[in-house]
Amino acid sequence: MPDAAPPAVESASKRFRTVEVRRVERVTLKAVRITLGGDALEGFGTPLLGGHIKVMLPGTDQVRAYTPRRFDAGRLEIEIEVILHGDSPGSRWATAAKPGDVVDLRGPGGRGHTVDPGASWHLLAGDACALPAIGMVLEALPATARAIVIAEVDDASEERPLPSLAEVQAWWVRSGEVPGQALETAVRSIELPEGAGQVFLACESGVMRRIRQHLIDARGLEPASLHTRGYWKAGIVNYPDHDYGQDD
């Protein structure tokens, strides 16, 4: 089933809305969960699976894209997770954020992932930056679904529970000197179940393209069954958020 973003979602995502930080929680040593809320989120729209919002980092002219982990239309709150990467602008904001801080955001946007209820299995793979989106997809799977998760993190302290009604088999692999190498090796070596499956993959752009091509060429998966995202690219700061790797 192909992934697509309804035009109405894109057109509603253009303006910035001023909200405040409601809660800040350290999920792991390198992951900060920030809940933003306020009346400005009235009519915000439900974020798509694996989509994004844009946050104007306070005190700067820089905008960063984050996966909305949850959106509560009743409480007018949206939850994001920021993965800390050294002394980056996003990391500095997330580390210093506290309730009451004001921040501007816009969205939702991005091309959403559509869960195929007829898929025999679901492969969800990515690095630490993909864990919020992987969590969203897992929570959207029905109890009848079977999911395989391959996640690349720095160490065991970055592993976390992955709630889902589905039957989930999770593989945590360790990042090495070359980001994405362990993830790619794991995907290439894993034995996939029989039947027509569906894939959600998000990681470094070059790694994403190699894994995507492997799944198409060596595993025989249809391109329409793959939702792939290049969240970042080695050597490039603030990589564009519309890299879906669909150049096959």
The secondary structure of 223-236 as a DSSP string is GGGEEEEEEEBTTB
With cut-offs at 50, 70 and 90, classify the pLDDT of residue 12: low
| Whole-number pLDDT of residue 146 | 97
Q: pTM for this one?
A: 0.89
Say whether domain 121-232 belongs to CATH 2.30.40.10: no
**Is residue 190 pLDDT above 90, yes or no?**
yes
| Whole-number pLDDT of residue 240 | 74
Average pLDDT of the chain, as a whole number: 91
Give the pLDDT confidence of 192-231 residue by residue, as tens digits.
999 999 999 999 999 999 999 999 999 999 999 999 999 8
* Angle subtended at Cα 152 by Cα 150 and Cα 154, rounded to the nearest 5 degrees: 150
pLDDT over 70, % of the chain: 94
| Whole-number pLDDT of residue 13 | 59
> What's the order of all strands across the beta sheet hosting 121-127?
167-174, 146-153, 121-127, 197-204, 226-232
Give the pLDDT confidence of 145-174 residue by residue, as tens digits.
999 999 999 999 999 999 999 999 999 999
* Architecture of the structural domain at 7-109: Beta Barrel (2.40)
Q: Where are the domains of the chain?
A: 7-109, 121-232
| Whole-number pLDDT of residue 10 | 44
Give the pLDDT confidence of 36-85 residue by residue, as tens digits.
999 999 999 888 888 899 999 999 999 999 999 899 999 999 999 999 98
**Is residue 5 pLDDT above 80, yes or no?**
no
Count the Cβ atoms, other than its own, within 10 Å of residue 138.
21
Q: How far apart are CA 92 and CA 169, in angstroms?
A: 34
Phi-psi region at 178: left, alpha or beta (left = phi > 0; alpha = psi -120 to 50): beta
Say how far residue 238 (Cα) sits from the centre of its chain. Answer: 16
Amino acid letter at 201? L
**Is residue 245 pLDDT above 90, yes or no?**
no
**In this predicted model, which residue has the larger pLDDT, 6 or 171?**
171
| Whole-number pLDDT of residue 7 | 44
Contact between 129 and 232 (Cβ < 8 Å): yes
| Average pLDDT rounded to a whole number, residues 233-243 | 76
Which tokens is 68 given? 């909305």
| Whole-number pLDDT of residue 114 | 94
